[in-house]
Amino acid sequence: MLTAYTADQVRDAERELMARVPEGSLMQIAATGLAAVCARLLPSVYGARVALLVGSGDNGGDALYAGARLAARGARVEAVLAGSRTHEAGLAALLEHGGRIADESALDAADLIVDGLVGIGATGALREPYAALARRAGEADALVVAVDVPSGVDAGTGEVAGAAVRAHVTVTMGACKTGLLVDPGAGFAGALEFVDIGLGPHLPDADTGALTGADVADLLPRPVAESDKYRRGVVGIVAGSESYTGAAVLAVGGALRAGAGMVRYAGTSAPVAQVRAAWPEAVITELDGPDLGGVGRVQAWVLGPGLGTGGFARELAAQVLASDVPVLVDADALTLAAGERALLRRTAPTLITPHAGELSRLIGVPGARIEAARLEHARRAAAELGVTVLLKGSTTVVAEEDRPVRVNRTGTPWLATAGTGDVLAGVAGALLAQGLSCYDAGSCAAYVHGVAGRLAADGVPLVTTDVVAAIPEAIRSLG
The contact set with K ion (CB under 5 A) reads 115, 146-147, 151
Q: Where are the beta strands (DSSP E) in 341-437?
A: 350-352, 388-391, 397-399, 405-407
Locate all alpha helices (DSSP H) within 42-145, ordered by sequence.
58-72, 88-96, 106-109, 130-139
Q: Which is nearer to ligand NPW, 128 or 228 (CB)?
A: 128
396 binds, among ligand NPW, K ion, none (CB under 5 to 8 A by kind): none
CB-based contacts of 92, cutoff 8 Å, min separation 6: none
Q: Which is nearer to K ion, 54 or 102 (CB)?
A: 54
**337 and 359 Cβ atoms separated by less than 8 Å:** no
289 has binding-site annotation: no
Q: Which is nearer to K ion, 80 or 234 (CB)?
A: 80
378 has binding-site annotation: no
- Going residue by residue from 66 to 105, which x/- string records binding to ligand NPW, judged by CB under 6 A? -----------------xx---------------------
279 binds, among K ion, ligand NPW, none (CB under 5 to 8 A by kind): none
Closest CA to 113 of 43, 158, 164, 168: 168
Q: Given the rule CB under 6 A, which of 54-62, 246-254, 296-304, 439-447 is the region that contacts ligand NPW?
A: 54-62
Return the axis-axis angle of helices 331-339 and 311-321, rounded to nearest 10°.
90
30 binds, among K ion, ligand NPW, none (CB under 5 to 8 A by kind): ligand NPW
**What does DSSP assign to residue 371?**
H
Residue 120 touching ligand NPW (CB under 6 A): yes
422 has binding-site annotation: yes
Q: Which is nearer to K ion, 116 or 246 (CB)?
A: 116
User: What is d(CA 454, CA 451) in angstroms, rounded to the nearest whole number?
Assistant: 5
Indicate the pairing of strand 208-210 with strand 2-5. antiparallel
Q: How far is the CB of 418 from K ion (least distance, A)?
A: 38
HEC string of 41-53 equals HCCCCCCCEEEEE
Span 166-195, contacts to ligand NPW by CB under 6 A: 173-174
Q: Given the rule CB under 6 A, which of 58-66, 72-80, 221-229, 297-305 is the region that contacts ligand NPW?
A: 58-66
363 has binding-site annotation: no
CB-based contacts of 302, cutoff 8 Å, min separation 6: 235, 236, 237, 238, 239, 251, 255, 327, 328, 330, 425, 426, 428, 429
Residue 122 touching ligand NPW (CB under 6 A): yes
Q: Which is nearer to ligand NPW, 122 or 457 (CB)?
A: 122
**3-state SS assignment for residue 116:** strand
Member of 123, 139, 228, 289 binding ligand NPW (CB under 6 A)? 123
Q: Given the rule CB under 6 A, which of 98-106, 125-133, 293-301, 330-338 is the region that contacts ligand NPW?
A: 125-133
Element at 262 (helix H, strand E): strand 262-267
Cis peptide before 461 (omega within 30 of 0): no
User: What is d(CA 48, CA 71) in angstroms, rounded to the nearest whole number?
Assistant: 9
115 binds, among K ion, ligand NPW, none (CB under 5 to 8 A by kind): K ion
| Terminal-to-terminal C-alpha distance of the chain | 15
**404 and 237 Cβ atoms separated by less than 8 Å:** no
121 has binding-site annotation: yes
Member of 33, 55, 190, 326 binding ligand NPW (CB under 6 A)? 55
Q: How far is the CB of 366 from ligand NPW (least distance, A)?
A: 24
Locate all alpha helices (DSSP H) within 236-322, ordered by sequence.
246-257, 269-278, 311-321
| Cα-based distances in Å from 300 to 39, 324, 329, 345, 367 | 52, 9, 11, 17, 29
Residue 197 touching ligand NPW (CB under 6 A): yes
58 binds, among ligand NPW, K ion, none (CB under 5 to 8 A by kind): ligand NPW
Q: Where are the beta strands (DSSP E) in 76-228?
A: 76-81, 100-101, 112-116, 143-147, 169-173, 176-177, 191-195, 208-210
Residue 119 touching ligand NPW (CB under 6 A): yes
Member of 111, 115, 148, 330 binding ligand NPW (CB under 6 A)? 148
**465 and 247 Cβ atoms separated by less than 8 Å:** no
Q: Given the rule CB under 6 A, which of 71-79, 116-124, 181-189, 289-297 is the region that contacts ligand NPW?
A: 116-124
Q: How far is the CB of 299 from ligand NPW (least distance, A)?
A: 47
Residue 22 touching ligand NPW (CB under 6 A): no
- Extract the annotated binding site for K(+): 59, 115, 151
Residues of this chain that interact with ligand NPW (CB under 6 A) are 14, 18, 26-27, 30, 55-60, 62, 83-84, 118-127, 130, 147-148, 173-174, 197
Task: Detail the residues annotated as belonging to a binding site for AMP.
Answer: 392-396, 421
